[in-house]
């Protein structure tokens, strides 16, 4: 999936907002995931480290690092989308992500919930910058990352 349809203006909005969010990515990543589970509590079953845990989500020691790495990867790939002309997550990583998401039983609705949660998280992180244009820039970047992951969603060889 190529980085077409991602304009210079969109790139600038993504870069500008990520510059502000970056230093706070651990907290924002956690908020992002807590939003996902608030909207879709059943999504917790997709995570091996949450499935049988009685610890409250925000205190789960494995959730925060996982959430942060997903949030950072999503944002970094958005920032590089236009320069690279495509999603820049390494092919081996995309294959692994595709396989993991496939095995976990992730479906389109999950990606939709995640997109909504991501946009809400960013909106709350940079309220003074937020605009319909910024929303569509992040939405487009997210859609392209998801398309790249989905193209690798198959049983691992």
Look up the domain containing 108 and give its range. Answer: 8-45+61-151
In a domain, 50, yes or no: no
In a domain, 137, yes or no: yes
Q: What is the CATH number of the domain that holds 145?
A: 1.10.490.10
The pLDDT, as a whole number, for residue 117 is 96
Across all residues in the chain, what is the average pLDDT?
88
In a domain, 127, yes or no: yes
In a domain, 31, yes or no: yes
Answer for the pair 5, 146: CB distance below 8 angstroms, yes or no: no
The pLDDT, as a whole number, for residue 1 is 43
Q: What is the pTM of this model?
A: 0.87
The number of residues making up the chain comes to: 157
pLDDT in tens, 18-47: 999 999 999 999 999 999 999 999 889 888
Per-residue pLDDT of the chain (157 residues; tens, 9 = 90+): 444 678 999 999 999 999 999 999 999 999 999 999 999 998 898 888 888 888 899 899 999 999 999 999 899 988 888 877 766 666 777 787 878 877 777 888 889 999 999 999 999 999 999 999 999 999 999 999 888 888 888 776 5
Phi-psi region of 85 (alpha: psi -120 to 50; beta: other; left: phi over 0): left
In a domain, 156, yes or no: no
d(CA 69, CA 153): 20
Into how many domains does the chain fold?
1
């Amino acid at each position: 999936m190529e980085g077409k349809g991602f304009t210079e203006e969109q790139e600038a909005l993504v870069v500008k907002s990520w510059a502000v969010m970056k230093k706070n990515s651990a907290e924002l990543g956690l908020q992002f995931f807590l939003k996902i589970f608030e909207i879709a509590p059943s999504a917790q079953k997709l995570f091996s480290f949450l499935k049988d845990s009685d610890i409250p989500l925000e205190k789960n020691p494995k959730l925060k690092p996982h959430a942060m790495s997903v949030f950072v990867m999503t944002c970094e790939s958005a920032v590089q989308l236009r320069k690279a002309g495509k999603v820049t997550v390494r092919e081996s990583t995309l294959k692994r992500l595709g396989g993991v998401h496939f095995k976990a039983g992730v479906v389109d609705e999950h990606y939709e919930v995640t997109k909504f949660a991501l946009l809400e998280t960013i909106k709350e992180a940079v309220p003074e910058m937020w605009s319909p244009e910024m929303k569509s820039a992040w939405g487009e970047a997210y859609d392209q990352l998801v398309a790249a992951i989905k193209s690798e969603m198959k049983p691992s060889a």
